[in-house]
Structure 1
Amino acid sequence: MLRDLYNVDILTLIIMGCLLLIAVSKTSFPKRFDQFTLLLFNSRYSNLYIKDQRFFDIFEGLLFFNLLLNIGLLVYSYLTFHYLDSISQLDIFKYAILIGLFIVLKVLFERLLSSVLDIEAIIDKYLFQKISFRNFIGLLLLPINAVLIYTFKPDQTVFYIVFSVILLILFFGLFLFVKNNLNTFKKSLFYFILYLCALEIAPYVVLYKIIVTK
């Protein structure tokens, strides 16, 4: 069923804003952007730029804002499907800000924890790879959101597929990281599993509950 194109001014502005963010990152960092788009196929990007990572990187910052806006759009589409017209388009920014604060605070806590446990080197690599894969998801979500907004009204199956693709990419990034650091994890596999449950699963479940219950 084709979607009725009405009252999508804010959605269109957000889509255009995402396109602008990607265009700026592409034109300002052409070589890095090209290598970034191949993130799923080789580790060249991670190997090259892990050494130069900073707390705030302009390239990563542009893609991070694109990610937040696209997640906001996806959450809006998902909640609109369940609650029909009770969700305001302005709530997209609320979701984006909430998720952005969640991610930033989580990263700060992980860096603090790595400093306390004296495992900064390995956690820095992990965070860089995780941030890179999240930003890559932001690129994929832009055309997906455009289809969901302008083409047809999605059903539950469509959302299951989209969320499954996101999870597969995140787990693939985790698999690559563990594979490349297997010797380190062999010594503390149990603690790593506890870390995943405590800092990579439970917080997102809480965030989901907060958004859905509003």
Structure 2
Amino acid sequence: MNPIARTIEPVDWMTILIFLGLLLLALGKYLYQTRFMNFLILPFNNKYISLYNKKGRLLSWFHLLMTLFQIINISLFAYLALRTLMPDLLARMSSPFLMILAITTLLLSIKIILQLTKGYVFNTQSLVKEIIYHKLSYFNYSGLIMFAINIFIIYVADSPKHMIYGGIFLIMIINIIGLVNILKNHQKVIISNVFYFILYLCTLEIAPFVLISGYLKH
């Protein structure tokens, strides 16, 4: 009897991440069906923010599920984008996806902590929590776009560059819609505190992108 070599293909870790994302979506829909359906139409109808902004806010289980879903998918999207657009940079990284995941989680956590600290210092905790919830909801919705694009890039697209640029464009549009709604809903407060608003934009919105782009250039 001659020995037969059996080759066991390694599990595709990106498929595991896609499955995990799908599991989080299914769990969110199963446990919070009405809230999930309102979340799906977020960019077209502000009903989700109006209904759930005061109910648990940042620490609700549905919001935490969608935030985890978003972190996984934005990290995977960033990995795929770097693999396509900057392969040399990715090659220099040790465990690149885990590094991107850690950086994404750390940046998001630091940003939220700084925003909450700013709200405490200026005694605007309620307003800051409301704005954070509003922004994170739209950012979490971006996770749905990234999830779909990740699937297309991994399993369908032969040339993913256009998918990546299209995904970045859609994510920007969704978050711009969220920012416009924030400005519209809080225009009186922003006008009366325009200096602090500009300071907030420079330190917590613009500065992280400047630092990241500077790192990628070098």
Tell me the residue number matched to 1:126.
131
Normalized against structure 1, the TM-score is what? 0.87
The counterpart of 2:96, out of the listed 91, 94, 104, is 91
Report the alpha carbon displacement of residue 133 of structure 1 after superposing the two structures with TM. Answer: 0.5
Normalized against structure 2, the TM-score is what? 0.85
Tell me the residue number matched to 2:167.
162
Tell me the residue number matched to 2:6.
none
With CA pairs under 8 Å and 6+ residues apart, which has the higher RCO, 1 or 2? 1
In structure 2, distance between residues paired with 1:39 and 1:15: 23
In structure 2, distance between residues paired with 1:105 and 1:46: 23
Tell me the residue number matched to 1:187.
192
Tell me the residue number matched to 2:151.
146
Report the alpha carbon displacement of residue 136 of structure 1 after superposing the two structures with TM. Answer: 0.5
Q: Which whole-Å deviations, capped at 9, do the CAs of 1:67-116 have from their partners, x for residues lacking one?
A: 11111111111111121783789532331222012101210111011110
Report the alpha carbon displacement of residue 134 of structure 1 after superposing the two structures with TM. Answer: 0.9
Report the alpha carbon displacement of residue 123 of structure 1 after superposing the two structures with TM. Answer: 1.2
In structure 2, distance between residues paired with 1:111 and 1:93: 27
CA RMSD in angstroms comes to 2.4
In structure 2, distance between residues paired with 1:165 and 1:57: 27
Aligned with 1:40: secondary structure? helix
Tell me the residue number matched to 1:49.
52
1:35, 1:45 within 8 Å by CA — same for their partners in 2? yes
Identity percentage over the alignment?
Answer: 29
Q: Which whole-Å deviations, capped at 9, do the CAs of 1:27-59 have from their partners, x for residues lacking one?
A: 011111011111111221111111123553211
Matched residues, number: 208
Report the alpha carbon displacement of residue 163 of structure 1 after superposing the two structures with TM. Answer: 1.1
1:76, 1:87 within 8 Å by CA — same for their partners in 2? no
Q: Which whole-Å deviations, capped at 9, do the CAs of 1:152-201 have from their partners, x for residues lacking one?
A: 24454442222121112111101001111112222223431231121111
- Structure 1 runs of 4+ off > 6 angstroms? none
2:73, 2:147 within 8 Å by CA — same for their partners in 1? yes
Tell me the residue number matched to 1:66.
69
Alignment CA distance shift 1:139-1:100 (3 Å): same
In structure 2, distance between residues paired with 1:7 and 1:55: 38
Which has the larger Rg?
2
Tell me the residue number matched to 2:180.
175
The counterpart of 1:36, out of the listed 31, 35, 39, is 39
Structure 2 residues not aligned, in runs of 5+: 1-8
Alignment CA distance shift 1:7-1:170 (3 Å): farther
Structure 1 residues not aligned, in runs of 5+: 1-5
Amino acid of the structure 2 residue aligned with 1:83: P
